[in-house]
Amino acid sequence: MAVTLIYRLVSLKLDVLEKNKFTMSQEVIDKANKWLQSPIDQETKDEIAQLLSADDDTDLIDSFYKDLEFGTGGLRGMMGVGSNRINKYTIGMATQGLSNYLKANFAGDDIKVAIAHDSRNNSNFFAEVTAAVFSANGFKVFLFEELRPTPELSFAIRHLGCHSGVVVTASHNPKEYNGYKAYWNDGAQIIAPHDKNIVNEVGKIKGIEDVKFEANKDLIENIGKDVDEAYLSCIEKLSLSPDAIASQKDLKIVFSPIHGTGITLVPSILERLGFTNVHIVKEQSTPDGNFPTVVYPNPEEKEAMSIALNMASSMDADLVMATDPDADRVGIGVKNDKGEFQLLNGNQTGALLVYYLLEKWKANGKLTGKEYVVKTIVTTDLIEAIARAYHVNCYETLTGFKFIAALIKDLEGKEKFIGGGEESYGYLIGDDVRDKDAIASCAMIAEMTAFAKNEGVSLYELLLDIYTKYGLYKEDLVSITKKGKSGAEEISQMMVDLRANPPSELGGSEVIRLIDYQSGEEVDLQSKEKKSVNFPKSNVLQFITADGSKVSARPSGTEPKIKFYFGTRANLSDRSDFEKEWEGLDKKIAQIIKDLNL
């Protein structure tokens, strides 16, 4: 379509708006017009013209009313044309801003970057665009030739000596979304001060014409099998119970990649470890960005794992595992004491992993007093209780795996990282990767199941034994969304009110401590004594009661949403008392929620 015709369509659109007595923001029209005049491809111009000529203005406004924000973790949004969508040009502008920052930070170096992508629609194309821009800026680019898990990208950055890296993924978002996560030279997602500095640098890109899109193909090298081999070899070395695997090699395992990248490496690592009875969920085995068998490709959702659970039940399997599209998180299902399959939550799986790691490190004579595990401030305190029993340090970080990675980097050469994770189904074993790793986690979960079976218990029974030994911990989450500007203001006021008037009692127990991660203070509400909290500033509040219950309030930094995390505990003297005690903790959490008027 010729530019003159496009301008006529703009005029036509304005006429329609005037006739309908509807005033669209001039900024939207101006931004769409600016894109039309920029050096974009004809197909994109045609799509913008269609938006401008449509009777319904919704899509045009959504596509151009703002610029897609490059946040501290990168980009994430719906795919489509326009400044507020994931497309070739917004990806290009983000990459150009990152390139400019890398040049400023590594002046004089021959800069190297690694790029991977998941199974989402257009992910391969966006990865190629990213490679083109990096190479046009003179960088050596290592581009995975096919889809690969996010943790392998983290591994590749360190393995290949890269200065940065990018993975094209929107994790477990619906099929309409895609995204772009940026990594630093330690293989971890970017943190301060680089995060905000990169955001500022991306903000300096004023238009598409500022982006170098012409690839230097001589600087782009395809990678794949060699990095796979190095990565899988590192995971193999993490194994702690080869004898248990040999004894239980026919353990029945059902695995689903939920149409994502897990299919590339999970079956391979299980085979390399010695498991011979692994069954892949056929309906979800093919990478497909449309995720045809699920509503959300999220292993936290029972619906996403229903096919795998039905398959496991029909064959009386020992373990069910499913990874999200970029294979950095894993959900599992186990048989309970009634022989029925049930899903474990992220806290339960994390506690099992930490227990198994510490038990085997101790049995193998590997604990020297300089080892540690890590969890986030909203992850179960059961992990800390287990670590304390093994005389192993348990460190806490803010929510987000980038903070766990930063701690690992700070403690390099001083203490040895064993493992850790967060309640949202992300775990890390060993420090070859610096992000949550579902490939290594699947390997260790399968080995842990073999270990338990070798000891004469199921994974579910092992969890109950952990509860009887270290305490029964139960967690829950309430997420509240308040839409629009007024919603964001309401959430902000909720935090103001909680700080000004903290609850005196929750769930029938007195609130004795308040931790404010924004002010960096912990207050004893009885003595009024204060002490500093050594964490980065974050808008999070925690209330701790006399009976050990904990409530954390944490607003989202990117959307009008606030999450309340609840943690409670009780003693469990015998497995047979589990259901009764569990129900009691359920009631306590329900009372806490009522006390907070949620």
Which positions are annotated as active-site residues? Answer: 171
User: What are the distances in angstroms from CA 451 to CA 292, 445, 556?
Assistant: 35, 10, 39
Residue 340 neighbours by CB under 8 Å, 6+ apart: 313
460: nearest Cα among 448, 471, 470? 448
Encode 335-386 in three state secondary structure.
ECCCCCEEEECHHHHHHHHHHHHHHHHHHCCCCCCCEEEEEECCCCCHHHHH
Residue with the two structure tokens 């992850």: 379
Peptide bond into 193 cis (omega under 30): yes
Per-residue burial over 473-482, b = 16 or more CB atoms within 10 Å of its CB, e = otherwise = bbbbbbeeeb
What span, in angstroms and rounded, lies between the C-alpha atoms of 78 and 576? 49
Q: Where are the alpha helices (DSSP H) in 423-520?
A: 438-454, 459-470, 484-500
What distance in Å separates the CA atoms of residue 538 and residue 27, rounded to the nearest whole number?
Answer: 33
Q: How distant, in Å, are the alpha carbons of 279, 337, 442 from that of 315?
A: 10, 17, 20
The neighbour count for residue 103, using CB atoms within 10 Å, is: 16
DSSP state of 189: B
Q: Please tell me the distance from the alpha carbon of residue 266 to that of residue 286, in angstroms, as a whole number.
A: 14
* Pair 457, 248: CB distance under 8 Å: no
